[in-house]
Amino acid sequence: MSESAQRQGDAFENLLHEERRFPPSEEFAAQALAQPSLYEEARSRGTEFWADQARACLSWETDFTQTLDWSEAPFAKWFVGGKLNAAYNALDRHVEEGRGDRMAIHFEGEPGDTRSYTYAELTESVKKAANAFESLGLQKGDRVAVYLPMIPEAVITMLACARIGAVHSVVFGGFSADALRSRIDDAEAKLVVTADGTYRRGKPSALKPAVDAALEKEGSTITNVVVVRRNNEPVEWTEGRDVWWDDVVDSASSEHTAVAHDSEHPLFILYTSGTTGKPKGILHTTGGFLTQTAFTHKYTFDLRPETDVFWCTADIGWVTGHSYVAYAPLINGATQLMYEGTPDTPHQGRWWELIEKYKVSILYTAPTAIRTFMKWGRDIPKKFDLSSIRVLGSVGEPINPEAWMWYREIIGGGKAPIVDTWWQTETGAHMISPMPGVTRTKPGSAQVAVPGIAVDVVDEMGQSVPNGSGGYLVVREPWPSMLRGIWGDPERFKQTYWSRFDDMYFAGDGAKKDEDGDIWLLGRVDDVMNVSGHRLSTTEIESALVSHPSVAEAAVVGAKDETTGEAVVAFVILRGSAKDDDDIVTTLRNHVGKEIGPIAKPRNILVVPELPKTRSGKIMRRLLKDVAEGREVGDATTLADNTVMQQIAASLRK
C-alpha cells in the first residue's frame, strides 16, 4: 500500500471504534421510497435495472434499443438509440402534465431580494434564453462557458444550452481570469454567459472584469459575451462582442420546440483538478447522466416532489450544483431553494432563517459548512424553527463523527436520517450512500453502494479486501452517469482511471471495509487535495508558484485543518535575488489567487532552503506533511540528502 494509504489506514483505526448505530425510525422505514426490495431488484435485474430506471425517470422521444454498449470499454454508451431532450424532461413535460403551477425555484439573493419561478415560468424563461442564444449563432454541439453566480439565470443558461444541444462548461466564479481562459481555450467555447457581478458579504463583487481580462489576449474562440445584470455596478463594454441578457433574452420569443438529442449527446464539460497541472474536462452525456442523477435524487433523499422543499447548498460551479441543483430536482419536478450568498451575511443564522422561511425539508450540504456552524455555536440554529427538516445529506469529503452527530442533533432534531453520499465529478451522481429508511447509519461512514452500483475496496493487486481491511476504492461495473471521457484527451482518460487495475475504475480514494462490510472513505491517495470539499491539485498550485519569478522550487501538501478538512500548505525555495520577508508570502499568495483563483491560495507559505527529495528526485511530500501538521517527522532514510529535514526545521524555527 502507498504511504498515504498507510497513513490513512492508521487514522482509520480510530474510526473503527465508532459504536453508535442509528437505525431508521419505524415510521420513516414504513413509508420510505427506497425499500430493501430496491436492492434485490437491482441484483436480480442486473444492467436492465438501469433500463427500468431510465424509463421510469425520463420521457424518451425515441425509446432505446440497447441498455449498455461496453464493447469499446472504457468508452461506454448507455441507452443506445434512445433520443430525449434534457430541458424538455426538466421543464416542458411538467407543464404538459399539469404541474406548471408548482414552484420550481425559490431564489433568495444575498441582500434579501427574492424571486420565484413556477415550472411554467421557468420553462418560458429557458425557451427565451434558447432563442436568444440561437439568435447569437449558437448551434447544437457548440460549447458555452458559463461564469455566473448562484442566480436563477445560471440554471436557465444551463438548461437553455441543453435544450439546443449546446454543451455548457461552467467555470466556478471563484476561479481567476487565467483559469477561465484556459478552460475556454480547451473547450473552444463560442459564447460566455456571465454577470456584472454578485454580492458577497454584503458588498457587490464583480465578475465581468475577469471575463474581460480572460479575453484580452487575442485568439480566443469567443464570439459573444452575454451579461446578466445582477448588481448594477458599472462594467467595461466591448461593442460587438458584449450583449446584455436583458436585451437579447427579454425580447426573445417564448416559443421554442425542444428537439430530441441522442442519449449519448454531450450534455456538459466540467473541469476538475487532477494529479498533473492541467485540469481535466470531464465529459458527461445526456441519457445516462439524467437517469442516475434523477434516480439517486429520488431515493437517497426520499424525495416527495409535491411536498418537499429541497435545498442543495452547492454552487453550480461544482458537480454537485450540476447534478443536484440544475438537473435532478427539476427532472423530478421538485421545489428547490437557491441562495446566492455567504452563510454569515447579514448574520450567522442566515441558513437557518432560510430553512424556517421556506420550510426546507431536505438539506444537502458539505462537512466543512457543518464544522463552521459548530464553531459558531448551537445557540444560533436553536433560535430558528427547523422542524420542517426530514432528511439531511452530506457530500464532498469524509464527515467526521463529531460533525455527523452535531448535524443530526442540532439540525435534524435527533431524528432526520443522514445520508453521507460519496461520489465525484467523474461519477456524475451518488455511488455510495445509505438509503434513508433502509440503512442503519453509522456516524462518519458512507456505508453501502447505491442499488445497481458495483463498488469495492481492493489491495495493490486489485484483489477485493476482506472486511476489516483497507485499500483502494474502485468501481467494478460501468454505471449510467459515468464520465464518457476527458474532453479532447482519450489517452489521459484511459491512463487516469482505467490503467491502475484491470477492468476497474480507479477513483483515487482510499477506503476501508469495517467488520460489517460498510465502507469508510479515507481521502485521496493521489496528489489531489480536498479543501472545503473543493478539489485542488498539488501540482497545479506548485506550477502556479514556480511561475513567479521569485520562486525557484515549490512543493505543496494538504495539511489537516479543523474547518476546511484540508488546507493548502506550500514550501518554497526562493531564487537567490528574492528576499524572504512577509511581503513575499503575501505576494505569492496573491499570485496563486491570480493564476488559479482565491480558493487555491495557500493557508501557509513556508520559505525553506531545501526540499526533501528521493535519489530519483521525487519530492517526499509525506515528510512535508508531517512538518505542516506539526508532527514528528517520519522515516527519512530514503532521502538523497538526509540533513534536509533538519535544515528545514532550523529555517522554520528562525
**In what helix (H) or strand (E) does residue 490 lie, and over which residues does it extend?**
helix 490-498
Q: Which phi and psi (to 5°) does residue 23 adopt? A: -70, 150
- What x/- string results for residues 7 through 46 when contact with ligand WT7 is judged by CB under 6 A? ----------------------------------------
Q: Examine residue 556 and tell whether it contacts ligand WT7 (CB under 6 A).
A: no
Residue 72 cell numbers, joined: 469499446
Distances (CA, A) of 181 to 154, 189, 207, 470: 19, 10, 14, 41
> What is the spatial distance between Cα 180 and Cα 225, in angstroms, rounded to a whole number?
13
Which residues have CB under 8 Å from 222's CB, separation 6+? 145, 184, 189, 190, 191, 192, 215, 241
Q: Which stretch binds ligand WT7 (CB under 6 A): 204-212, 317-325, 337-345, 478-486?
A: 317-325
| Cβ closest to ligand WT7, residue 248 vs residue 282 | 282
Considering the complex, what minimum distance in angstroms separates the CB of residue 405 from ligand WT7?
16
Q: Which stretch binds ligand WT7 (CB under 6 A): 61-69, 143-151, 286-294, 421-429?
A: 421-429
> What is the spatial distance between Cα 308 and Cα 359, in angstroms, rounded to a whole number?
9
Helix pair angle (119-135, 152-164), 10° resolution: 60
| Cβ closest to ligand WT7, residue 446 vs residue 596 | 446
> In the 8-state DSSP scheme, what is residue 477?
S
| Cβ closest to ligand WT7, residue 565 vs residue 612 | 565
| Cβ closest to ligand WT7, residue 298 vs residue 430 | 430
**Alpha-helix runs per DSSP H in 20-118:** 26-31, 36-45, 48-57, 86-87, 93-96
Distances (CA, A) of 502 to 68, 69, 463, 497, 498: 20, 19, 11, 10, 7
> What is the spatial distance between Cα 332 and Cα 464, in angstroms, rounded to a whole number?
36
Q: Examine residue 395 and tell whether it contacts ligand WT7 (CB under 6 A).
A: yes
| Cβ closest to ligand WT7, residue 335 vs residue 427 | 427
Number of other residues whose CB lies within 10 A of the CB of residue 93: 19
Q: What is the DSSP string of 315-330?
A: -TTSHHHIIIIIIHHH
Considering the complex, what minimum distance in angstroms separates the CB of residue 368 from ligand WT7?
11
Amino acid identity of residue 610, one-letter, is E
Helix pair angle (582-595, 177-187), 10° resolution: 30
Among the listed residues 121, 262, 397, 542, the single contact to ligand WT7 using CB under 6 A: 397
Q: Which stretch binds ligand WT7 (CB under 6 A): 227-235, 419-427, 453-461, 576-584?
A: 419-427
Which residues have CB under 8 Å from 636's CB, separation 6+? 612, 620, 623, 642, 644, 645
Considering the complex, what minimum distance in angstroms separates the CB of residue 403 from ligand WT7?
12
Considering the complex, what minimum distance in angstroms separates the CB of residue 142 from ligand WT7?
25
Considering the complex, what minimum distance in angstroms separates the CB of residue 292 from ligand WT7?
13
Number of other residues whose CB lies within 10 A of the CB of residue 518: 19
Q: How many residues at the interface with ligand WT7, by CB under 6 A?
A: 23
Which residues have CB under 8 Å from 422's CB, separation 6+? 430, 431, 432, 433, 446, 509, 519, 521
Q: Which stretch binds ligand WT7 (CB under 6 A): 30-38, 152-160, 529-537, 596-604?
A: 529-537
Considering the complex, what minimum distance in angstroms separates the CB of residue 483 from ligand WT7?
10
Q: What is the DSSP string of 43-62?
A: HHHTTHHHHHHHHHH---SB
Q: Examine residue 272 and tell whether it contacts ligand WT7 (CB under 6 A).
A: yes
Q: Examine residue 400 and tell whether it contacts ligand WT7 (CB under 6 A).
A: no
Q: Examine residue 482 and tell whether it contacts ligand WT7 (CB under 6 A).
A: no
- What x/- string results for residues 485 through 524 when contact with ligand WT7 is judged by CB under 6 A? ----------------------xxx-----------x--x
| Terminal C-alpha separation, the chain | 37
Considering the complex, what minimum distance in angstroms separates the CB of residue 493 from ligand WT7?
15
| Cβ closest to ligand WT7, residue 67 vs residue 169 | 169
Which residues have CB under 8 Å from 446's CB, separation 6+? 420, 421, 422, 432, 433, 434, 519, 520, 521
| Cβ closest to ligand WT7, residue 109 vs residue 558 | 558
Q: Which stretch binds ligand WT7 (CB under 6 A): 9-17, 374-382, 391-399, 409-417?
A: 391-399
Q: Examine residue 320 and tell whether it contacts ligand WT7 (CB under 6 A).
A: yes
Q: Examine residue 368 and tell whether it contacts ligand WT7 (CB under 6 A).
A: no
Considering the complex, what minimum distance in angstroms separates the CB of residue 150 from ligand WT7?
16
Among the listed residues 107, 422, 472, 497, the single contact to ligand WT7 using CB under 6 A: 422
Considering the complex, what minimum distance in angstroms separates the CB of residue 423 from ligand WT7?
4
Q: Examine residue 293 and tell whether it contacts ligand WT7 (CB under 6 A).
A: no
Q: What is the DSSP string of 252-313?
A: S-S--PPPPEETTSEEEEEEE--SSSSPEEEEEEHHHHHHHHHHHHHHHTT--TTT-EEEE-
> What is the spatial distance between Cα 447 and Cα 39, in angstroms, rounded to a whole number?
14
| Cβ closest to ligand WT7, residue 35 vs residue 424 | 424
Considering the complex, what minimum distance in angstroms separates the CB of residue 426 from ligand WT7?
7
> In the 8-state DSSP scheme, what is residue 91?
I
Positions of E strands within 575-649: 604-607
> What is the spatial distance between Cα 537 and Cα 543, in angstroms, rounded to a whole number?
10
Considering the complex, what minimum distance in angstroms separates the CB of residue 291 from ligand WT7?
18
- What x/- string results for residues 426 through 465 when contact with ligand WT7 is judged by CB under 6 A? --------------------x-------------------
Considering the complex, what minimum distance in angstroms separates the CB of residue 570 from ligand WT7?
21
Considering the complex, what minimum distance in angstroms separates the CB of residue 225 from ligand WT7?
27
Among the listed residues 421, 447, 481, 537, the single contact to ligand WT7 using CB under 6 A: 421
Q: Examine residue 530 and tell whether it contacts ligand WT7 (CB under 6 A).
A: yes
Among the listed residues 535, 589, 591, 625, the single contact to ligand WT7 using CB under 6 A: 535
Among the listed residues 319, 334, 405, 541, the single contact to ligand WT7 using CB under 6 A: 319
Site for ligand WT7 in 43-82 (CB under 6 A): none
CB 428 within 8 A of CB 441: no
| Cβ closest to ligand WT7, residue 149 vs residue 393 | 393
| Cβ closest to ligand WT7, residue 84 vs residue 511 | 511
| Cβ closest to ligand WT7, residue 223 vs residue 424 | 424
Bridge partners, residue 394, by sequence: 365, 420
Considering the complex, what minimum distance in angstroms separates the CB of residue 283 from ligand WT7?
14
CB 170 within 8 A of CB 251: no
Q: Which stretch binds ligand WT7 (CB under 6 A): 256-264, 313-321, 329-337, 379-387?
A: 313-321
Which residues have CB under 8 Å from 525's CB, separation 6+? 2, 4, 5, 8, 472, 508, 509, 510
Residues that bind ligand WT7 (CB under 6 A): 272, 318-320, 395-398, 420-425, 446, 507-509, 521, 524, 530, 533, 535
